[in-house]
Amino acid sequence: DQQVKQNSPSLSVQEGRISILNCDYTNSMFDYFLWYKKYPAEGPTFLISISSIKDKNEDGRFTVFLNKSAKHLSLHIVPSQPGDSAVYFCAASAFQGAQKLVFGQGTRLTINP
């Protein structure tokens, strides 16, 4: 049973517009969430994280929103740039197993010029 789900395998967005990537989780013990970005032939690169005591965290063009009651988080990228084209992974961990990251399947984002 997958505890972290990214239901959209792919997303296509026009350059300059907002990209919204979604992630759902089932384990109510998760209290720390991360987004990673992966280019082909490279390992995942950390983008942004959020603790469950917050509902929003912003870093430049990237904002992560957390809705604990819905067990849902989203990553907003605005404005989207061609270099943002990559696979994005959502990950979660629980304090009790803080180093055990559980990953979603990933969403392939394509930014069109």
Which sign does the torsion angle of CA 100, 97, 99, 53 carry?
Answer: positive
Q: Which amino acid is at 73?
A: L
| Contact by Cβ (8 Å): 18, 38 | no
Q: Report if residue 26 touches another protein, rule: CB under 8 A.
A: no
> CA angle at residue 99 from 94 to 103, to 5 degrees?
70
Stretch that binds another protein, among 21-29, 61-69, 72-80, 97-105 (CB under 8 A): 97-105
Stretch that binds another protein, among 11-19, 33-41, 61-69, 77-85 (CB under 8 A): 33-41
User: What is the C-alpha separation between 88 and 6, in angstroms, rounded?
Assistant: 9
Q: Report if residue 66 touches another protein, rule: CB under 8 A.
A: no
Q: Binding residues for another protein, how many (CB under 8 A)?
A: 26
Residues that bind another protein (CB under 8 A): 2, 4, 32, 34, 36, 41-46, 49, 51, 89, 91, 93, 95, 98-106
